[in-house]
Amino acid sequence: MRFQGLSAFPITPADAQGRVDTAALARLLRRLVAAGVDSVGLLGSTGTYAYLDRAERRRTVEAAAAELRGAVPLLVSIGALRTDDAVRLGQDARAAGADAVLLAPVSYTPLTEDEVFAHVQAVAAGAGLPVVLYNNPSTTHFTFSPGLIARLSRVPGVAAVKNPAPDADAVAAELAALRAGAAPGFSIGHSGDWKATEALLAGSEAWYSVVGGLFPEPAMRILRAVRAGDAAEARRLHRSLQPLWDLFIAHSSLRVMYAAANLLGLTDAQPPRPILPLAGTAREQVAAVIGALALR
């Protein structure tokens, strides 16, 4: 698996008991394959991995691998509170057909850098798949420092990092600092859709995208403009999606993507409780933006 381009992160449709609707998941995945995404990010934060038990996670990976049939590489999140659980989830993902794993340092007790280093090292050794570091401080309350990323980039099996995209005026310096410390060949990519275009233009290798998980076509258009060296067109396309970025910031991208998938008739699944679906004015806003932007 090459950690570059658009990695699209769909929701994981499931019922109120946490049973995944694999038929609805297949519908979402077919959209991604048709759009030509570079990889699928399964069971990420948008895929609500933390709300699914081990058996459902494995069943989800098996269903996705069967649908994709190797056409698109499959990156699977294996975050867990315990290191041994994360190792087992990584082994499950490998057995079920994943190509790489995404590892967030999930914890109730705040972790030190040495603890995260040992955690990642153990998972990389035990999972048997390339590991992408998931730097998601807003959720995990742990931030991978540039020094820790540099150390981990030299651990066998650790291949890439998924970083939250900084502001446009900071992204070039961040990339330069990370590349100066990281091992050769280590991929540096970004999430945070409303900032990702500037990260790509500055040289980020991968866009780990929520919007790409449901609306891959507009995301791919931005990526193609970046690859063609047309910064003006990439920025124009990015600005055209500003109403959607505003909804993400106001309501969270997860809630917006569930509402959008419902409105498009792709699934009637709701976010896992205690997360509540968007209703009333917020849902109407999502419908209005989908219509105005002609998103399908």
CA-wise closest residue to 33 among 69, 57, 62: 69
Distance CA 125, CA 84 (A): 12
Sorted by where each begins, the domain ranges of the chain are 5-217
Q: Across the 296 residues of the chain, what is the mean pLDDT of every consecutive 10-residue run?
A: 96 97 98 98 97 98 97 98 98 98 96 98 98 96 97 98 97 97 98 98 98 98 98 98 98 98 98 98 98 96
| C-alpha distances in Å from residue 275, one per residue of 111, 181, 224, 256, 278 | 26, 39, 35, 12, 9
Q: What pLDDT was estimated at residue 1?
A: 87
CATH 3.20.20.70 fits 5-217, yes or no: yes
The answer to whether the beta carbons of residues 23 and 79 sit under 8 Å apart is no
Predicted TM-score (pTM) of this structure: 0.97
DSSP state of 90: H
Q: Please give the structure tokens belonging to residue 201.
A: 């233009």
The CA distance from 104 to 42, in Å, is 14
Integer Cα distance of 59 and 89 in angstroms: 12
Output the pLDDT for position 213: 98
